[in-house]
Chains A and B, each alone.
Chain A
Amino acid sequence: MGDKVFMQGNEAFAEAAIRSGCKFFFGYPITPSSEIPEYYAKKAPSEGLTFIQAETEVSAFNMVAGVAATGKRGMTATSGPGFSLGCEAMSYMSAAGLPSVIVDCMRPGPADGEILGSQGDYNQLTKGGGHGDYNTIVLAPYSVQEYADFAPLAFDLAEKYRNPVVVASDGTIAKMMENVEFPEKIAPKGRSDWACDGINGRDHYNDITTCGDGPEQWEKYNLNLQSKYTKIRENEQRWEEIQTDDADILIVAFGSLSRVCLTAMRIARENGIKVGIIRPITLWPFPVKAFEKFADKDVKYFVTELNAGQMVNDVKLAVNDNKKVEFYGRLGGITPTPVELYKKLCELYK
């Protein structure tokens, strides 16, 4: 680890990805993600990186699929409109078991929407987005440091499970500047047993396929995928609990908005209301385990999101409708202030 650097979120992620041995970037610029391709393009000559500005996100995502098939680390970064175009490739990469990393700097939609902080892509990212029964791991950072830390983590998880991993940031986390400490640079890893990279010392060529032959084989293929997802659900749920021990009300929030909740929680506690926070870090798998220990406690939930209410459905499933779950969301790129959240919380639970 080195010294702390005061840096913007997107640039910090790009630097951390380069240090994680990701030598390939394919993308099409879109606010608020564009500093990631910009940083890669700037560093490409001196770091020996491959940077391609594709003609559309459709191409960029498929280029990522291509490089992933060779066992090399590759990524793209986009925002909602671009992610929608990439969803076909997300489905194919999931079926083919291609480990890739995709950053979605969410912005409020639908359609072009605005460019400010938003969490409107929660359903798209966690419920598939593309066609078929597939899931991708989704990591939601809440600080510049965590954004950077998720670069190596995303590649490690992608390779561990041979599955795409999405890092879900937004206009706030992407543009925010904070101090960040980077990991040491690692060398790109060696050959993967399954990769399509020529004979490369093996006695056979590898094939990457997305196809079963007939319904029975195709069902078996799907069941294998499902058993992988079960394993990921068991092993990779991540969340943070903040002052939950004595809490009467638990705020559930992720990403940029969970930062606002930290201050809202402090205001509530100064006013004698015992509030804690459950912050989902993996949006998929959703951290249902976080809610188990509160099943027998007398707690109420306050879910807040920068959308019309998407994660709140996963919270309701996690608590089996046994607890009161209230929701408050802002739309269009508006992030509530800590005081606004505190007042809403008082209004709902007075």
Chain B
Amino acid sequence: MKSELIFSGIGGQGTILMGKMACTAASKKGYNVTLSPAYGQEKRGGRASCQVVISEEIGSPIISEADTVLVMDEKSLKDYEGKVKSGGTLVINSSMISTKATRKDIKVVEIPFTEIATKVATAKSANMVALGAVVKSLDIITLDDAKEVLKIKMKPALVDANIKALEAGYNFVK
């Protein structure tokens, strides 16, 4: 089994953190994982994206076409809509993106990450809502795998709120 994912957004939105969490979850199950980050010099506000390859064998860190692409802002949609594999999934942060996707050969999921996060936790958990939505599109990582990683990676005080956010994102996708 193999999964190729792209997470793209603005520095500070947690796009690379999401990639790392997906990698950690998959590597716990014995997969080879590779995360290639790309970011500007700015700590916050610059472009930030990562390509994640989860696979049984070692291969290219550079993705031709991704199974799932998550876009957190307008520019990411413009840059990466074309990178989704035919039949793949494009997850759109509709809290920040008003433009509609044009592709008809892919599954497009629009989710208001910030509004959902604010409802179940705080706005800061928007990226965990996003991760939940991405996990729903994958066979390789389950919701429980993602929860386990979250428990390890986050401060204990933040775990409950973020698990709620993760579940809300997962359950939003039909």
Contacts and interface: CB of A to CB of B under 8 A. Distances in A.
Interface in B108-141: none
B7 to A, nearest CB: 13
B23 A177 contact: yes
A73 interface: no
Interface stretch (A225-233, A307-315, A332-340): A332-340
Interface string B55-73: 0011111111100000000
A91 B38 CA distance: 35
B60 A177 contact: no
B3 interface: no
B13 interface: no
Nearest to A31: B41
A90 B30 CA distance: 42
Contacts of A337: 60, 62-64
A48 to B, nearest CB: 30
Interface in B18-61: 20, 23-24, 27, 32-38, 57-61
Interface residues of B, number: 20
B90 to A, nearest CB: 18
Nearest to A342: B64
Contacts of A336: 62
A349 to B, nearest CB: 20
B62 A177 contact: no
B28 to A, nearest CB: 10
| B interface, over-half SS | mixed
Contact of A179 (B33, B57, B61, B63): B33
Contacts of A36: none
Contact of A176 (B32, B36, B59): B36
Interface string A246-288: 0000000000100111111010000000000000000000000
B60 A178 contact: no
B60 A262 contact: yes
**A4, A263, A266, A338 interface centre (most CB from chain B within 10 Å):** A263
B19 to A, nearest CB: 8
A175 interface: yes
A6 interface: yes
A163 interface: no
A49 B57 CA distance: 37
Contacts of B32: 178-179
Contact of A264 (B34, B60, B61): B60
A172 interface: yes
A143 interface: yes
B34 A177 contact: yes
Q: Which 8 A-B pairs have the closest CB atoms?
A: A263-B60, A339-B64, A337-B64, A177-B35, A260-B60, A263-B59, A338-B60, A262-B59
Interface of B: 20, 23-24, 27, 32-38, 57-65
